[in-house]
Chain A
């Protein structure tokens, strides 16, 4: 469904992505992992249209979207749950959800939108309880739930999740990833995470990004047993599950 080829993105003089290629198949949950500054968020922002790539192509369902403005890409069925939630703090839970479906407001009457809001709220009873609270007053975990719901309101073909675990306590992280697990059955998801093992637990496939390039790709099983992954995360720590000999997983560089 999503086909990214040779993507290059710059921030001023910094080349954040230096030729990234990846793909997400329909119904898959693909993870993008890597250390801070590797370019993961940049990748998502380029896909959504918030950033414009210098070079490369992004195809959604066969259609080229790399140069389209953000609001059109959202209309095509891409929803981003941004890093750090980025809710509209001064507006209520309900308002935030309504805004999530902003692009679809023409297609459905008020009634249809309201129904979907109720549906989202019923999935998260705690949000339903606090439906009229300003988003800034919610706790971290509740905010993450709201952010994900907001993304779902647009009934997207492709859901992009940017570091859902950021700033959350371990227990809440577990909760959020439980939600993600539930979602993976129904949605196509591209998940960016700094916490590698969390992401690998829910993903069908994963790419490892380093310095703006994909350096490794494979299934969670193969990646977890690769000592390079462990090394990337804690320096010269000998990978606990490392196999001596031929490193498994498809090496890109």
Chain B
């Protein structure tokens, strides 16, 4: 069981990471990047191609994937989100969803349907911790995510760009008043969100294999995590992701994989029923 918990923790961290991507774009622009799952998948795919086909070492490959996805996110916002937001329409939901579908299928055609392994030294030989066999990578992931969270905290807290992003999220009009280029900030938030997804993909690839379809369910669960944690509460999202990952792992381990989905999504509905703004959200007063 301990093993299940640890694996669940690792997967949960990845959910949180991808979920934070939803959070970032939501607070900056009140839109959501529904291509997030696909972004994660591409991150894993690019990493795999560079490592396996071009014999790059893991780290540079991952970095390349992350940077490429940053560009992707920026373009995505410009092409599939901003034109609709500008008109006051919510069609960006369908359009980002559609982009996700398009990407998944392009990858499927070029990459093939079956999963490929992403070899990684840290995911080959299990070590034994407290009687449970676990890959070093699974232990490393939470550490990574912690480091990223710390890095984000520093970024947002001490750099001008970070402050500007927070400002845009807090009050768009005031940000315009001090001369922040709000459009750029939104674009950057999409870039950042896709980059986070790419990190998630590179981290989880070695553990579960890379396939064109891997992004779909994880993207969906990450969305659930983001909602349950509260779209505006990064700490809530981290916690929700960990809890979801561990709970899912335990249920899946004892009851099988379909039950795991039923349980997971059932839990989501239950939480939203009791706390419509997420676990940590506060309902805002309606201003008339």
Contact = CB atoms under 8 A, between A and B. Distances in A.
Given A91-B163, A95-B163, A102 B179 contact: yes
Contacts of B170: 88-91
Secondary structure type dominating chain B contacts: helix
Interface string B163-177: 110110011011011
B163 A98 contact: yes
Contacts, number: 67
Contacts of A88: 163, 166-167, 170-171, 174
A86 interface: yes
Contacts of B166: 88, 90-91
Contacts of B177: 48, 50, 70, 74, 79-82, 86
Contacts of A86: 171, 173-174, 177
Contact of A71 (B171, B173, B174, B180): B180
B176 A48 contact: yes
Nearest to A50: B176
A105 interface: yes
Contacts of B274: none
B288 interface: no
B178 interface: yes
B160 interface: yes
A77 to B, nearest CB: 10
A99 B164 contact: yes
Contacts of A91: 163, 166-167, 170
B244 to A, nearest CB: 27
A70 B176 contact: yes
A229 B170 CA distance: 39
25 contacts: A48-B176, A50-B173, A70-B177, A70-B179, A70-B182, A71-B176, A71-B179, A71-B182, A74-B178, A82-B173, A86-B174, A87-B174, A88-B166, A88-B167, A88-B170, A89-B170, A91-B163, A95-B163, A99-B160, A99-B163, A99-B178, A99-B180, A103-B178, A103-B179, A150-B178
Q: Which 10 A-B pairs have the closest CB atoms?
A: A74-B179, A103-B179, A86-B174, A70-B176, A71-B181, A80-B177, A71-B179, A88-B167, A50-B176, A88-B170
Given A74-B179, A82-B177, 8 more contacts: A48-B177, A70-B179, A71-B179, A73-B179, A82-B173, A87-B174, A88-B174, A100-B178
